[in-house]
Amino acid sequence: MSLAWEDFVEEVKQRVNIVDVISRYVNLKKTGKNYVGLCPFHQEKTPSFYVSPDKGLYHCFGCGAAGDVFSFLINYRNLTFREALEELAREVGLELPKKDERISAEANIFLEINKAVATFYHIYLNSKYGAEGRLYLKKRGVSSEIQEKFLLGYAPLNPTLLLKYLEKKGFSKDDILKAKVLYFIKDEWKDPFAGRVVFPIMNPRGKVIGFGGRTLTGEEPKYLNSPESDLFSKGKNLYALYQAKESIKKEGEAILVEGYMDAISLHQAGITNAVASLGTAFTSHQAKLLKSYTNKVILGYDQDSAGYQAGKRALSLLELEGLEVYWLSLPHDVKDPDEFVQKYSKEEFLRFVKESKPSLDFLIENTLNLPMNFKEKLEEIIEILTSSILRSKNILVQQEKIKQYLPVISRKLGVPEEGLQREIQKRIFSDRSYRNNVKIEITRYFGVSKTEEVLLGLILLKTNNSQIRNMSPEDFSFPLYQEVLKKWRIWEGTLEEFLNLWDEDKRVLIDRAISSGEEFINQEEVIPFLWDHFQKLRIKKEINKLIEELSKVEDPAKEKELMEEIYFLRSLLEVKD
């Protein structure tokens, strides 16, 4: 990226009022020169989320979330840096500098090709040649309005029809092949979706990034997805999210289902906050994506054994993101939400949604009723509860789970409550003992500069930890690291190309940071403690700064305000220790 881009980012940042942006999502109250509210990134009852309009930064002293206005939008709404920049630039009336990067231009071409392919399949479905596709959708009860809403299509058996359509639109054969919508194999053009009903998959902005196809002939696989690419990864997207996102925000909850038809049937019934996990095992990326729109998810998976196991996996990942998860139990005479709304009414479905239980309640109750021997049942329930407790990052939530569920399990199984508590605490302690040892080592050997070095390295190596990945330049105290991150967050080339931007002296320091990051990049269980240590160092630094400010203050009211802030920060350190 050119210097003009870096200047442009700073210009947008200077013009945007961070309080105005964040207050759209968080109820902020002015306190002194800052604003405070309940943190949107974790559950809390006492506000610890501070926004500084002077610095253009936010910081939560509870969970450590921090950054500038771009970081907030990236983390809260799951935007890319580019998307956040475009949105804020529009708000302040600035036009983005022209880009000529080959990678970005190529991605835009692929998106245009995908859009054209989706349009072609949709046109073909509604032509006299798409009768077979329309018949299938009619049998599944899909209305023409819903077909239009989701841009459903049908792929012809002859792939050259699509090829000619795309060429008439101005796309080259080379770009068509690179976009992987058609293949040229043994002197023949091939369409992987030929003869299938096609479901275009859109990102949250409505751009077609891939496709799913359902066979009509019984061939395997029954459902086929576009290949993984830079544009499309089925584990990082949710079907129908574009159509559902506004409804999810309005309802305050999302209904998560397994398949395309589950989501489509619910939308047709007027239940428009439903999304599907693209026929694949639910992933942490999808959990994070959902969290950017809601804090509550209702699991509406299939009623069979496979659906039960898939639901348990989804529950664990959603809990790790701090979401409230409820389990939707439907009558035994239907296998999934699609079949339910075909058979019963919207009102009946919503009644079951309203009656859905917290997932942990359901899993424990379900296990208690399973045909297992006593020992197996006890082991399964202890494992379910222990795992859920460990996934809860808030110690008060952990204690509440023990208090709520132990008496029920004790009564149902006839096991002493004290014995259950000892067993669960033993497992929790055993799980944490290794982590605590790691935590001690990090605290002992990592000062501020070394910690920042490792964190920068992890960012450049594209760590999976979103808190670290989305740090802002101001989080670092070392000016070079600030400069590096300002360039990196708008960089779209390779790491090697990025490193070539720097002179030899700076390159040595950046290489050292990468080497430090490489020591931790695959140690996912250690990285959270490294982040926690960094947060504690930052809080201590803030306390020292306030103490220095306090020594110069003569106004009693200001002195009281500073003392309260110092006391609050010290109490947070005690909690973190």
Residue 319 lies inside a defined structural domain of this protein: yes
Torsion angle of C-alpha atoms 210, 161, 120, 209, degrees rounded to 10: 10
Residue 62: φ, ψ to 5°: -90, -55
Asked if residue 258 and residue 274 are part of one domain, the reply reads yes
Across the chain, which distance is largest between two alpha carbons, in Å? 85
Tally the residues of the chain.
Answer: 577
Q: Are residues 136 and 29 in the same domain?
A: no
Exposed/middle/buried for residue 287 (C-beta within 10 Å: 0-12, 13-18, 19+): buried
**Residue 300 belongs to domain with CATH number:** 3.40.1360.10
| Same domain membership, residue 210 and residue 196 | yes
Q: Which residues pair with 202 in a beta bridge?
A: 208
What integer pLDDT is reported at residue 430 of this predicted model?
Answer: 64
Question: Could you tell me the two tokens for 20?
Answer: 């105005």
Q: pLDDT tens string for the chain (577 positions)?
A: 333 567 678 878 877 889 989 999 999 988 878 899 999 988 888 888 999 888 888 988 888 788 889 989 988 888 888 889 989 988 877 777 665 444 467 888 999 999 999 999 999 999 999 999 999 999 999 999 999 999 999 999 999 999 999 999 999 999 999 999 999 998 999 999 999 999 999 988 899 999 999 999 988 889 999 998 878 888 889 999 999 999 998 999 999 999 999 999 999 999 999 999 986 678 888 988 898 788 899 999 998 888 988 998 899 889 888 889 999 999 989 999 999 999 999 999 999 999 999 999 999 998 988 888 888 888 888 888 888 888 876 667 778 888 888 888 888 888 888 888 888 887 776 654 544 454 444 444 444 467 888 899 999 998 888 888 888 888 887 788 888 998 898 887 888 888 888 887 788 888 888 988 888 887 777 787 788 788 887 788 788 888 877 777 777 777 777 777 777 777 766 555 4
Q: Are residues 250 and 337 in the same domain?
A: yes
Q: 265 phi and psi, to 5 degrees?
A: -65, -40
In a domain, 555, yes or no: yes
C-alpha 339/C-alpha 269 separation (Å) is 12
Tokens of residue 264, six digits:
């489509």
Instruction: Check which CATH number belongs to the domain holding 143 and give it.
Output: 3.90.980.10
pLDDT of residue 46: 83
Residues 322 and 227 in one domain: no
405 and 477: one domain? no
Q: Measured between alpha carbons, how far is 27 from 36 in angstroms, rounded to an integer?
A: 8
Q: 328 and 395, same structural domain?
A: no
Q: Do 428 and 519 share a domain, yes or no?
A: no
Domain boundary pick from 60, 91, 122: 91
Question: What is the distance between the alpha carbons of residues 181 and 189, in angstroms, rounded to a whole number?
Answer: 11
CA dist 237 and 260 (Å) reads 13
- Per the domain annotation, does 8 fall within a domain? yes
Q: Is residue 322 part of a domain?
A: yes
Residue 232: phi, psi to the nearest 5?
-130, 125
Domain around 278: 236-357
Asked, for residue 364, whether it belongs to a domain, the answer is: no
Whether residue 141 sits in one domain with residue 62? no
Report the alpha-carbon distance of residue 354 to residue 504 in Å, rounded.
Answer: 62
In a domain, 65, yes or no: yes
Q: What is the number of domains present in the chain?
A: 5
Of the three residues 407, 439, 471, the one that is the final residue of a domain is 439
Are 298 and 187 in a shared domain?
Answer: no
Report pLDDT for 7: 67
What count of Cα atoms within 13 Å lies in the side-chain half-sphere of residue 108? Answer: 7
Q: At what angle do helices 260-268 and 241-251 cross, to 10 degrees?
A: 60
Check residue 3 and give its pLDDT.
38
Of 414, 439, 464, which residue constitutes the final position of a domain? Answer: 439
Statement to judge: residues 561 and 505 lie in one domain: yes
Report pTM. 0.63
Q: Quick check: is 321 in a domain? A: yes
Does residue 111 form part of some domain?
yes
Within 123-245, strands assigned E span: 153-154, 183-185, 188-190, 196-202, 208-215, 223-225
For residues 381 and 372, the answer to whether their CB atoms sit within 8 Å is no
Is 320 exposed, middle or buried (CB count within 10 Å of its CB: 0-12, 13-18, 19+)? middle
Q: Do 164 and 245 have their domain in common?
A: no
- What are the residue ranges of helices labelled H in 374-503? 374-391, 395-413, 417-445, 448-460, 466-469, 479-488, 495-499
Tokens for 471, please give them. Answer: 């740090």
pLDDT of residue 527: 80
Q: For residue 68, give the CATH number of its domain.
A: 3.90.580.10
Backbone angles phi, psi at 556, to 5 degrees: -60, -40
As a whole number of Å, the CA-based R_g of the chain is 27
